[in-house]
Amino acid sequence: MTMDDNKLTFDKITSDLTHHIRINKGFLIWMGFLTISLLICLYAYSLQLSKGLGVAGIRDYVTWGMYLANFVFFVAASLIGMLISAVLGLIGMKWLTPITRIAETIAVAFAAVAGLVIVSDMGRPERLAYVFLYGRPQSPILWDVTVITTYFVLSLLLLFLPLIADMAIIHRKVSTLPSWLKPVYKVLSLNFTDHPEQNKIINRAIRILLILLIPAALSIHTVTSWLFAVTSRAGWDSTIFGPYFVSGAFVAGSAAVIIAMFFFRKNYKLQDYLTDMHFNNMGKVLATVSLVYLYFNINEFLVPGYKLKRADAVHLHELFVGKDAILFWIVQIGGLILPILFMLFRRFRKPLPIMLISIAVLMAAWVKRYLIVVPTQEHPFLPIQHVPQNFVHYSPTLIETLISIAPFILVLIIITLISKFFPVIPLHETAREKGIEHIKFD
């Protein structure tokens, strides 16, 4: 390639990947919609703050309702950053480059919000700091807050490091950037000039992060599963809860990434970068992790079902043929088995079908968390005597539902902001892979 060719390709890549970085009407309408929805949900939360947790359907039997299902779901979805960037990235899968930032954005958004979700279940949220101040090092609760904080910081750094070079390019070359934002990009780009030493530092830091990310991510979801598995209740008392949760998390996260890819590709016109090949490959990833998850599901239900200890029998009965059966089978068949079967065929791994499959998988993933958290609590070993009916059968209230929707809106806001103000696809890295060795900064 000649210098001129180089410049041409580079300019094209830059404009392709950054043309969406501007404040336009669509963006304002979408953010306005999200903000209003969030305010409605926050109003519901203010009711809970002033009236107490009694406004939610949680009672003395089911104390962990939708809020905790939400928490597990958010932690799960955040794990995808580690699978895409660290595991597959370290193996050296080159096709992943345009997807890494999407995965990291999802990881950061969900991990940040997961911490907040747990607060929605607290009657005295102003005492949150007590978890750190008075936490017992023996308690998985303390481990959980520790690893979630750590994972969030690691993911944030991993999102930031590749952005340094991109921001250096943006604040010099992107004319649509609002002028008041320019200095922010300049400061955040840390005087990056594509100096070899600078690249060396960034690459080394990224490598360290990728390696740290694997144990951190495994810990956050394993520890989250231990919050359940270290109690001896039917449905939670399981030795494979860790891997069961982790594999389920990859399913939810891969689905979330595919959905995000689809919308970014369409809205930001990234068809040349997020190609059918990427959807096809992500479909394969989703199919693979779903198969692993199916395997753990079979273990998780067949083994206690074979032994049928008394408490397990009650629990499994409710899931298989009882009160929760409809949800359970929809989730297992519609959210796991059918998607796997579809994804075996190439034509269902095209962008639109795989996106629709991912939506089904993601919704099922949420309901699955609900089915893990709630039914177990409805059959305690030592039932409390003479309690009202609404203790025994949990049903979420409207206020509780609104409060549970808030985190989803927050995640959308965070993802929207990150994707709107930064290239969705790593710019500097893409340029390099297209053979542009050194970027001229004038």
Partner 1 sequence: MRFTKLLFIIFIFSFGTRLSAQTWVVPDDQKAITAPFKFTPEMQKQGEQIYLKNCQSCHGLPGKDNWVKLTPPPGDLAKEKAQIQTDGELFYRITAGKVPMPEFRNIIAEDDRWWLIAYIRSFNPKYIQPNPVAKAAFAGRTVTLAMEYSDPMKKIVVTATEQLKDGKTGPAASVEIMLFVKRYFGKMQVGDIKTTNTSGKAFFEFPADLPGNQEGYVDVSATVNDPKNAMKTTPAQANFAIGVPTLKPGLTETRAWWSTRGKAPVWILLTYTLSVIIVWGFILYIVYSILKIRKLSNG
Instruction: For 210-228, give the DSSP string.
Output: HHHHHHHHHHHHHHHHHHH
Stretch that binds partner 1, among 73-81, 97-105, 201-209, 220-228 (CB under 8 A): 201-209
Residue with Cβ nearer partner 1 (198 or 281): 198
For the chain, the distance separating the N- and C-terminal CA atoms, rounded to the nearest angstrom, is 21
287 neighbors 383 (Cβ within 8 angstroms): no
Do 176 and 20 meet the contact criterion of CB atoms below 8 Å apart? no
* Residue 262 contacts partner 1 per CB under 8 A: no
Residue placing its CB nearer to partner 1 in the complex, 23 or 356: 356
Concatenated DSSP letters for 293-305? HHHHHHHHHHHHH
Q: 286 vs 151, 354, 361, 439, 441, CA distance in Å?
A: 23, 10, 10, 36, 40
232 is a contact residue toward partner 1 (CB under 8 A): no
Nearer to partner 1, 12 or 438 (CB): 438
Q: Which of 34, 131, 327, 337 binds partner 1 (CB under 8 A)?
A: 327
The interface mask with partner 1, positions 88-127, x = CB under 8 A, is: ----------------------------------------
Size of the site for partner 1 (CB under 8 A): 59
As a whole number of angstroms, the distance between CA 342 and CA 323 comes to 29
Return the number of the residue (96 or 164) whose C-beta is nearest partner 1: 164
Q: Which of 8, 29, 119, 208 binds partner 1 (CB under 8 A)?
A: 208
Q: From the CB of 20, what's the least distance to partner 1, in Å? A: 26
Residues 6+ apart with CB under 8 A from 334: 360, 364
302 lines the binding site for partner 1 (CB under 8 A): no
Could you give the CA distance from residue 143 to residue 427 in angstroms, rounded to a whole number? 37
Residue with smaller CB distance to partner 1, 159 or 270: 159
Q: Which of 395, 433, 434, 435 binds partner 1 (CB under 8 A)?
A: 395
- Tell which residue, 62, 122, 67, 49, has the closest CA to residue 405: 67
Q: Which of residues 5-34 bind partner 1 (CB under 8 A)?
A: none
Q: Where are the alpha helices (DSSP H) in 138-181?
A: 140-173
Q: What is the DSSP secondary-structure string of 230-258? A: TS--TTT--TTHHHHHHHHHHHHHHHHHH
Task: Based on the shown chain and the rule CB under 8 A, indicate whether residue 178 belongs to the binding site for partner 1.
Answer: no
- Count other C-beta atoms under 10 Å from residue 125's C-beta: 14
Work out which of 42, 87, 116, 202 binds partner 1, going by CB under 8 A: 202
Query: Is residue 316 within the footprint of partner 1 (CB under 8 A)?
Result: no
When the beta carbons of 116 and 212 are compared against partner 1, the nearer one is 212
Q: Answer left, alpha or beta for residue 333, where phi above 0 means left and psi between -120 and 50 means alpha.
A: alpha
Question: Does 161 help bind partner 1 (rule: CB under 8 A)?
Answer: yes
**Packed helices 66-78 and 351-378: angle between N→C axes, nearest 10 degrees:** 140
Which residues are at the interface with partner 1 (CB under 8 A)?
Answer: 50-52, 54-55, 57, 134-138, 142-143, 146, 150, 153-154, 157, 160-161, 164, 190-195, 197-198, 201-202, 204-205, 208-209, 212, 216, 326-327, 330, 334, 356, 359-360, 363-364, 367, 386-391, 395-398, 401, 441
